[in-house]
Structure 1
Amino acid sequence: MADPFDLERIGAGLPVATALGALRTALEESGRAVVQAPPGTGKTTLIPPLLANTAPGRVIVTQPRRVAARAAATRLAALAGVPLGDLVGYRIRGESRVSARTRVEFCTTGILVRRLLAEPDLPGVSAIVLDEVHERQLDSDLAFAMVAEVAGLRDDLRVVAMSATLAADRFAAALGGSAPAPVVDIAATLHDLTVRWAPPPPGVTALGPRGVTDDFLAHVAATTQQALASGTGDGLVFLSGVREVERVAGLLADPVSDIDVLPLHGRLPPREQDRALAVGPRRRVVVATSVAESSLTVPGVRLVVDAGLAREPRFDAARGMTGLVTRTESRSSAEQRAGRAAREGPGTVVRCFAAETWPRLEAAPAPEILTADLTRALLDLACWGAPRGEGLALLDPPPPAAATRAEDTLRELGAIDGTGAVTDLGLRLARVPADPRLARALFLGAESVGVERSAEIVAALESDQRAPGADLGALLRLLRSDRSPGARAWRTESDRLARMLEAERSRGNVAPISGNSAEIGPVVAAAFPDRIARRRQPGSPAYLLSSGTAAELPRDHALGDQEWLAIAEVDRVASGALIRSATHLNEDQALASGAHLITDTDEVTWRGGRVAGVRVRRLGAIELTRTPFRPDAAAGAEAVRAALAAEGLDTLVWSEDATGLRRRMAFAHRHLGTPWPAIDDEALLDRLDEWLGPEILRLAEGTPARSLDLAAALRRLLPWPQAGEFDAMVPQRLEVPTGSKIRIAYPTDPADRPVLAVKLQECFGLTETPRVAGVPILFHLLSPAGRPLAVTDDLASFWVNAYPGVRAENRGRYSKHPWPEDPLTAPARRGTTRSGR
C-alpha cells in the first residue's frame, strides 16, 4: 500500500526534512522522541505525515490554540494536495473537519484531554504529536503527562513532543519513563535580523490603571507606519489582547493606502483568520495577539513590531478570581516574535521599549499550572484517577495552596469526595468541555429555565464576547439577532451544549423543564455563587461579592440601578476589580442560589468596657441581617480575651501601684532570672487566664476596667514560696538616713537602672550606694526646693569630690538648710537647720 503522503513534496525547502532520518531512528528505538526546533523549521508540517506514513492508524497533532489547529491542518492539506477533511482534518471546540479517511487530525490540547478521559487507550490512534509543549499551558501539561502514561501501557503508540525552546531535556526525561526519550535537534535557517528599539516618548507609559494606555497604542501604530515606510515586505505587529489589536488596526487603516491592515486573534470568524494567514495581492500588515507567536506561520513577513506586552492567566488568591493579566513579555517570547521577521529573508524587528530593559525581562513565561485557577485541571486529574497528578509525569506539580483551593471548589460542586476521588456528578461535569462551574450551571439551568435557554446562557458565559455596557442580557440579545461577530460560534456552541443536555437526560441525569424562562441571573449565580454581589450603598457602582471581593461597574454600564447582581466576568485592574459582565438578580434568587453560602454567626465584642453581642446572617461575605442578643458569661469572657489580644494590655486601666509592680517584676526577671517570671506584653498575654482570670469574668459581667486591682492580679504570677521575699529583694521604697521611705522609680526598660529622687540633706551619712538585685541605684540628689543638684551611683565618691562644689554653689541660696563641711558625720535632716528635723 502506497504511503498516503508525499514527504518530498511537502517538505521541499523545510529545514526539518534533513532530520527525518534521525527522527525515524529515535522512534524505532524507543517509540518516543522530543524534537527541538525553532519556529519556521517546518516541524508541524512535515513530522505528522512522516508518522502517518509509518503507522496504520490516525495521527493526532495537538496545538495550544484553535486558530493554530485550523491553520496547520489547512496548510498541510494544501501542501499534500488533498481536500481539508480528507486525509488531513481538524477538530476544535464547536467545529470539526474530519472523516473516516483522515490520517492526520489536528486538535487543541483540550480536545485531546477530553478524548483521553473518554477513551484512555485511544483506539485507532497510532501516534500523537504534542506540538508547542514549551508554551506550558494547563491543558498542554495535562495532555503531555496523560499521553506519557498511555505510552507506557501501549508499546505500539508513538509519541513526539515538539518544543521551540531549549527545555528539551526536561521533556525528554518526563516522556521517556525509565530513560530519557531521544532528542532530535533541528537547526533553523534564519536570515539576518536587524533589531531596532523604539521606546515610547517621555510621559507615555505602556500600562495604566485600566490596562494598555491609548497613548502607547498610538506610539505602536506610529512606529509601525514609520517602519513600513522605510522597509519592504509584509509586517506583523504583536499586541497583548483583542482590544489592543482592534485599536491599532483602526489607527493603521488608511483608505488611500496600498497596504492592507488585517487583524488576527481568536475571536475572528475562520474566514477572516484565513485571510490574515494568506499572502494577498497587496502588501499587508497583520496586527495580532500572541496567537501568531510560535504556532502559526504568517508568510511574507519581513518586519515585526513588538509592543513588548503579553496577556497571561493569573489567579488572584486575595480576590478569589482568575483573569488575564497584561504584563511585560519574557525574553523567550520576544525572541520568538522577532524570529518571524527572518524566516524567508533578511528582516527587521522593532521593539517598542528601551534596550536597557532587555536584561531585566524574565527568561520565559511562568507555566500556567503555577499561576492559574486549577479547578478544571484537578477535576480532569481526578477523572484520570490521579488526584493532584500523583504518579503522573507532570513537569511541575500543582502548587499545594492552589490545589487545595481548587479541591475545595470541586467539593462544593459535589464533583469530588473527601478523599479527592471523582464522584458520579464529577464525571458528568467533566464530560462538558467547560469550567466545572459552568457545567454545573448548565445542568441546574436546564432544570430551572429549560434546555435551550440554559445552553444559550452557558455558551455566552464561556465565549470571549464582551458584554456591551457590562450587560450580559444585552450580549445575549445581540447574539440571538446575529448582530455580533461571534453569533455563529455562539449558536454552534449553544446547540452542542443543548445536544449534550439531551444526551444526559437520556441517561437520566437531567430533568429539564418544558419551555424556557427569561431569567438569566439564576443560571449565572449557579455557575458563580462566589460572584453573587450586593450594592454597597444606594446609587453606588460599588458592589461586594459573596467571595469578599469588592468590584465596581464600569462608568458606561447599562445595568441600571440594581441592588443585586449575578456577575459573569470580573477583571483585575490596578484600582481593584472591574465588573465586565453581569445581570440582575432579585434577593430571593440570590438567597436561593447562594443558600449553601448562608451562615449565622454570633459576634461578641468588648469595647469601651462593655460586652455586646450581635447575630449576623451572611451570604458569604455579604451581610444580610444583624440582630442584637445578650451573650452568656463564657462568650463575654472570650470577647474580653480577644480584645486584649488584638488591642493590647493598655486597654486595661493601670494604676500607679500596678505599673510600679509590673516594672519591679520585670526588673527582677531581668537581673535575677529564674524563678521570677517574664512580664512583657507577650508573656502576660500568653498567661492571661493565670493572672487575670477572675478579673476577665468580672469585665465580662460589666465591671468597669478602672475598678480592677491589677497589682493584686499581677502578684498571682509571683512564684511560691519566693513570693514572700519579693518585696525585700525588689523593694518599692528605700529608707534613707532621715527615716523617710522614698519610692524607687523602676525603669520602663528593665535593662536601665532604678532611680531614687531624694533631697541631698536626707542622705548625709549615707556612704555606700544601695543596690537592688545587685544593681546600684542611681541617686538624683535634689535641692531643698526639689530641684536637681547632682546625679550619682557612687555616693562615697560624690561626698568627697563633687559635694564641696555643690555646697559652695548652693549654701547661700538655701541658707536656712544645713550645708556641713563633713556630710559623712553630719546628721541627716528633712527640714531647715532651725527646725531640728
Structure 2
Amino acid sequence: MLDSPPDLPVVGGLPALTAALRAQGVAVVQAPPGTGKTTLVPPAVAALATGGRIVVTQPRRIAARAAARRLAGLLGERVGETVGHTVRGDRAVGPDTRIEFVTTGVLLRRLQRDPELPGVAAVVLDEVHERQLDADLVLAFLVDVRATVRDDLLLVAMSATVEAERLAAVLDAPVVDVPGSLHPVTQHWSPPPPGVLPTDERGVPPRFLDHVAATVRQALAADDGDALVFVPGVGEVDGVIRRLAGFADVDVLPLHGRLPAREQDAALASGARRRVVVSTAVAESSLTVPGVRIVVDAGLSREPRTDQVRGLPSLVTVRVSRAAAEQRAGRAGREGPGAVHRCWARADHGHLAAHPAPEIAVADLTGFCLELAAWGDSDGSGLALLDRPPPLAFETARQTLVELGAVDASGAITARGRAMAQVPADPRLARALLDGAEAVGARRAAEVVALLDDDVRAPGGDLVAALRALRRGGPASRSWSDAVARLESLLPSRPPRTELTDDLAVGTVVALAHPGRIARRRPGGTSYLMVSGTGASFRAADPALAGVPWIAIADAERRPGARDATIRSAAPIDEDIALDAASGTWLEADEIAWTQGRIVARRVTRLGAIELSAVTVPDPPPEAVAAAVAEGLSRDGLAALPWSEAAGALRRRMAFLHDAVGEPWPDVGDEALLAGIDTWLGADLARVRGSRDLARLDVLGALRRLLPWPAAGRFDELAPERVAVPKGPAVRVEYGPTGTEQPVLAVRLQDAFGWTATPRLADGRVPLLLHLLTPARRPAAVTADLESFWAGPYRQVRAELRGRYPKHAWPEDPSVRP
C-alpha cells in the first residue's frame, strides 16, 4: 500500500516521519483532519518497526473500529487479519495482526498490567489534541516507559492543532508538519429566532432543537450531498431525529457511542438514498462519514465539570470552541466542496473559546489520581504531563481515594486500590462493584454498575425503573448486557441476598458508589439533604421517588445560583443501608454553640451533614463554652459586648498608640481582638450561658489585660486621658475610633494663652489638633501648629473677639502666660 498509496496529503510527510523515527525514535505529526494521517501513518511506522505490533490509539470506540475497518479495506482484507481492533466489549485481532487500533483506555490498562508492553514495537497516539484524561496519562506513561525500560519503543503523537509545538517540547521530539488540502467549505450563519436560547436551566430547550431541525431542512434544500448534524448528546440526537422523521426521501440515522456496533457501522457506510447523520462529538475527528458535503452545527458540546466543594461531577452543555467548530466544519470538505450551516450568529463566533478546556483542568480527577498511584508516582511529579492538575481538585480526588481505602494517607496505593484499578470504571463504581457483590450479589451489582457507568437517563429520576427497562431488552440493552457480563466476570460468584428487593439492591450499590450523595428528606418538605451537606430536589415532573425518606442519588447537577442540586436519578434505601454505606462519615460529638443569645449544648449523632439524633449536654466544658461564645461574637460582631464609656475610651487610646508607636502596643481593631479573644476575654467567656451573663462582662478590665508590661507604666504619659492647660482644669483628649485619626483637644482660646507650641503625644510623635474655642465655647480656629497660629492668624481672630467679648483680655503676645 505504501508503494501505491491513496492520494492523501499526509503522503508527502511520510519520509520526514520515517527520518525522525530513525534518528530519535519519537515524533509529533501535525496534520489537519482529512489529510489521511490515521490511515497512512500506522503502515509507515509498521514498515520501519520490526518484530512487533503497532498499537494505534483513538479517543473513542467508534473511531477505533472505523479506522481499523478503513485500513483493512484498503489492504483488501477483513478486520482481524493484518489490521485489528480492541475496544471495550469488542476485539478483532488475529495471530498475524501487525496494526491494532485501540481506545486510550485499553492501552492504559495494558500499561498498568505490564509497562514493558511485550510484543509491541511502536505506539501511535492519535487525536492527542482532544486532551482527554486517559490520553494525557497514556502519553506521560509512554514517555516514562521509553526513558526507563523500553528505549527501543517507537512513539508517534498525532495532533490536528497548532499546540503540536508544545507537545513536541514535552516529548523532546521533532514536528512533522503536514499541510492540509481539504476542499473549500462555504460558511452559512443560521442564528435561532429571537427569544430562543441554545441552553436553559434544564439543558437544550425543545425550541432550539426545532431550530436545528429547520436548519437541516434548509441546508438539504440549498446544498447537495449527505448531511452531518452535530448536537451535544444522545437525548438531542433522538430529539432532532424525531423532528426530521418523514422528511423527503432522506434516511435519518443516529451516531453516538451508546449505539450497537451494527448501527454505528450503518451510519458510517454509504447508502442508497441521501442521508442525514445526527451525531454527538464522536464524529468531530478521526471518523470519515462518506458522502457528507453538508455540516449543520448546533454549536454545543457536552463536557465534564466538577463542583469541587460539593463533589458533584457531571456533564454540562457548553458552547463549542472555535477549534472544535472548525473541525466540525472540515467534515463537509473531506470529499469535495461543501457547506457548513452554523446555528449561531457570525457576531457570536468571535466570543467562543479558542480551544476546549483540557479535561485535567475541569473534570473529576479521582480516576486520574488512582492511575497515578497504581503507576507508582502518586502526585505525577515525575511524569511528563502536559498540564499539572489543579491542586484543589487533585487533593479532593486523593481524599476520596483515602475514604474508599484505595490509597493510604501518603497517596500510596493499597491492595484494595489495586483491585479497584483493575475494574475499567471510575474508582467509586469499582468500589460499588466489589463491595456491592457481597451486599446484593455479583449479578445485581454488575447490572447497577453498568447502568451507572453508561450514564443512562432514568425516567422520572427512578433508577430502578431504568434497570427494569434494560432487563426487558431493546436497542439500548445490548451494550449494557455486554458491560454487565464483563463486570460480572471480574467477580467471584456470589448468590444474591434474597431479602433485598431490587429497589433496595439498586439503592445499595448507588450508595456504595456515592456515599456522599446518600440523602434524607428534610422535615416537613420534599427536598433532601445529602451526607455531603448539599441540598437536592427532584424536578416537579419527576414524582416517582419524591417523598421517600432515604434515597441514594446517582446523578445530580447544581446550576449556578440554585439553592439545591437537581436530582436526575436516584434509588430508594433505608437507614440501615445508609449507615453501612456511609459508615466512614458517622460521627458522635458534642456541639456547643451560641444561638439566639444563649449557649446550646447537644450531643449529636450525624451521618456526614445529616443529623440522626441529639440530646442535651447539661454541663458543657468551660473551654468549649468560651469557644462557642467567641465564635458567636465573631459572627455577630464585638458590638454585642457591653462597651462602657470607659472601655471605649481605653480602646481608642490603645489604638492610637498602636498606630503612632507600634510595638509593644497591641492592635485592638475588631479583627485583632476577635482573633486573640482568648488572651483578653477567654476566661470571662467560659462563665457565659446567656445574654444576661454577656451583659455583665467587665470589658474594661479585660482590655487592660492587653496593656504590655512594663511599658504600661507610661500609658497615661504617652496617651493621656486629659492634658493640663495654662489656665483652668485639664481638658479631655478625644481619640479617634481607629487610632489613625489625629487626637483632638477642644480648649478655650484664653486657656491656651501661655503655650508657646502645640502639645505633642506619644513621646512627641503626634501633635494634638487644637480646636480653639470662644468664651462661649464656639469654634474660633483649628490648628496643629500653635506657634505659627500665634505669629499670624491670631491677630485677625483677636481683633474679631475683642469686639465680641470686650470684657475679656486678649493679649498681643498670647505665648505669655497671663
SS of residue in 2 equivalent to 1:360: coil
Residue by residue, what CA displacement relative to the aligned partner does 1:184-227 show, whole Å, maximum 9, x if unpaired?
22222222222232333333332222222333333333233222
Moved more, 652-661 or 789-798: 789-798
Matches of 1:643 and 1:45, distance apart in 2: 69
Q: CA deviation at 1:622?
A: 1.6
CA contact (8 A) 1:612 1:631 kept: no
Matches of 2:130 and 2:730, distance apart in 1: 82
Q: Where does 1:576-615 land on structure 2 (aligned, <5 Å)?
A: 577-607=565-595, 610-615=598-603
Q: CA deviation at 1:474?
A: 0.2
The counterpart of 2:510, out of the listed 524, 529, 532, is 524
TM-score (norm 2): 0.90
Q: CA deviation at 1:387?
A: 1.9
The CA RMSD over aligned residues, in Å, is: 3.0
CA contact (8 A) 1:22 1:184 kept: yes
CA contact (8 A) 2:521 2:547 kept: no
CA contact (8 A) 1:443 1:501 kept: yes
Residue by residue, what CA displacement relative to the aligned partner does 1:654-688 show, whole Å, maximum 9, x if unpaired?
11111112222323444455554443223434543
> Where in structure 1 are there 5+ consecutive unaligned residues?
1-5, 506-510, 812-817, 827-837
SS of residue in 2 equivalent to 1:459: helix
Q: CA deviation at 1:822?
A: 4.5
Matches of 1:128 and 1:673, distance apart in 2: 67
CA contact (8 A) 1:453 1:516 kept: no
Q: What is aligned with 2:529?
A: 544
Q: What is aligned with 2:548?
A: 562
Matches of 1:69 and 1:380, distance apart in 2: 23
Q: What is aligned with 2:8?
A: 14
CA contact (8 A) 2:132 2:359 kept: yes
CA contact (8 A) 2:64 2:87 kept: yes
SS of residue in 1 equivalent to 2:460: helix
Q: CA deviation at 1:137?
A: 0.7
Matches of 2:72 and 2:588, distance apart in 1: 63
The counterpart of 1:371, out of the listed 362, 366, 369, is 362
Q: CA deviation at 1:182?
A: 3.7
Structure-2 change in CA distance of 1:725 and 1:59 (3 Å): closer
Matches of 2:188 and 2:755, distance apart in 1: 87
Q: CA deviation at 1:172?
A: 3.2
1:622 equivalent in alignment to 2:610: yes
Matches of 2:593 and 2:812, distance apart in 1: 62
Q: CA deviation at 1:139?
A: 0.9
Matches of 1:233 and 1:197, distance apart in 2: 19
> Where in structure 2 are there 5+ consecutive unaligned residues?
none
Q: What is aligned with 1:500?
A: 490
Moved more, 62-71 or 639-648: 639-648
Q: Where does 1:238-317 land on structure 2 (aligned, <5 Å)?
A: 238-253=230-245, 255-317=246-308
1:727 equivalent in alignment to 2:722: no
CA contact (8 A) 2:305 2:363 kept: yes
Residue by residue, what CA displacement relative to the aligned partner does 1:586-632 show, whole Å, maximum 9, x if unpaired?
11211121111111232222356643322222211222222221311
Structure-2 change in CA distance of 1:808 and 1:627 (3 Å): farther
Q: What is aligned with 2:168?
A: 172
Structure-2 change in CA distance of 1:199 and 1:657 (3 Å): same
Amino acid at match of 1:320: G
Q: What is aligned with 2:219?
A: 227
Residue by residue, what CA displacement relative to the aligned partner does 1:151-180 show, whole Å, maximum 9, x if unpaired?
4423553332221122223333444xxxx3
SS of residue in 2 equivalent to 1:208: coil
CA contact (8 A) 1:733 1:743 kept: yes
CA contact (8 A) 1:789 1:806 kept: no
CA contact (8 A) 1:676 1:719 kept: yes
1:802 equivalent in alignment to 2:792: no
CA contact (8 A) 1:601 1:616 kept: yes
Matches of 2:121 and 2:724, distance apart in 1: 101
CA contact (8 A) 1:618 1:624 kept: yes
Q: What is aligned with 1:834?
A: none
Matches of 1:448 and 1:676, distance apart in 2: 65
TM-score (norm 1): 0.88
Matches of 2:21 and 2:753, distance apart in 1: 105
Q: What is aligned with 1:154?
A: 150
Matches of 2:468 and 2:98, distance apart in 1: 41
Q: What is aligned with 1:695?
A: 684
Matches of 2:664 and 2:415, distance apart in 1: 63
Name which one, 1 or 2, has greater alpha-carbon Rg: 1
SS of residue in 1 equivalent to 2:182: coil
Q: What is aligned with 1:76?
A: 71
Q: What is aligned with 2:646?
A: 657
Q: CA deviation at 1:296?
A: 0.8
Matches of 1:8 and 1:738, distance apart in 2: 115
Amino acid at match of 2:581: S
Percent of aligned pairs sharing the same letter:
52
Q: CA deviation at 1:808?
A: 5.2
Moved more, 750-759 or 623-632: 750-759
CA contact (8 A) 2:53 2:99 kept: yes
Q: What is aligned with 2:373?
A: 382
Q: Where does 1:273-422 land on structure 2 (aligned, <5 Å)?
A: 273-422=264-413
Structure-2 change in CA distance of 1:801 and 1:563 (3 Å): same
CA contact (8 A) 1:766 1:824 kept: no
SS of residue in 1 equivalent to 2:440: coil
CA contact (8 A) 2:55 2:100 kept: yes
Matches of 1:239 and 1:183, distance apart in 2: 33
Structure-2 change in CA distance of 1:57 and 1:686 (3 Å): closer
Residue by residue, what CA displacement relative to the aligned partner does 1:32-86 show, whole Å, maximum 9, x if unpaired?
3322211111221223334445534332221101111122222223332222333
CA contact (8 A) 1:771 1:777 kept: no
The counterpart of 2:42, out of the listed 43, 48, 54, is 48
Q: What is aligned with 1:832?
A: none
Q: Where does 1:423-438 land on structure 2 (aligned, <5 Å)?
A: 423-438=414-429
Matches of 1:454 and 1:669, distance apart in 2: 67
Q: CA deviation at 1:493?
A: 1.1
Q: CA deviation at 1:763?
A: 4.3
1:209 equivalent in alignment to 2:204: no
The counterpart of 2:28, out of the listed 24, 28, 34, is 34
Matches of 2:16 and 2:662, distance apart in 1: 77
1:95 equivalent in alignment to 2:108: no
Matches of 1:721 and 1:48, distance apart in 2: 83
Structure-2 change in CA distance of 1:776 and 1:363 (3 Å): same
Structure-2 change in CA distance of 1:673 and 1:451 (3 Å): closer
Residue by residue, what CA displacement relative to the aligned partner does 1:778-814 show, whole Å, maximum 9, x if unpaired?
3363776x7x4545446857875336545756x7xxx
Matches of 1:145 and 1:765, distance apart in 2: 85
Q: CA deviation at 1:772?
A: 5.0
Amino acid at match of 2:486: R
Amino acid at match of 2:549: E
Structure-2 change in CA distance of 1:637 and 1:824 (3 Å): farther
Moved more, 206-215 or 735-744: 735-744
CA contact (8 A) 1:753 1:778 kept: no
Q: CA deviation at 1:512?
A: 5.5
CA contact (8 A) 1:190 1:343 kept: yes
Q: CA deviation at 1:304?
A: 1.7
Amino acid at match of 1:553: F
The counterpart of 2:480, out of the listed 469, 487, 490, is 490
Amino acid at match of 1:89: G
Q: What is aligned with 2:57?
A: 62
CA contact (8 A) 2:304 2:316 kept: yes
Q: What is aligned with 1:197?
A: 189
CA contact (8 A) 1:745 1:755 kept: yes
1:105 equivalent in alignment to 2:66: no
Aligned residues: 796
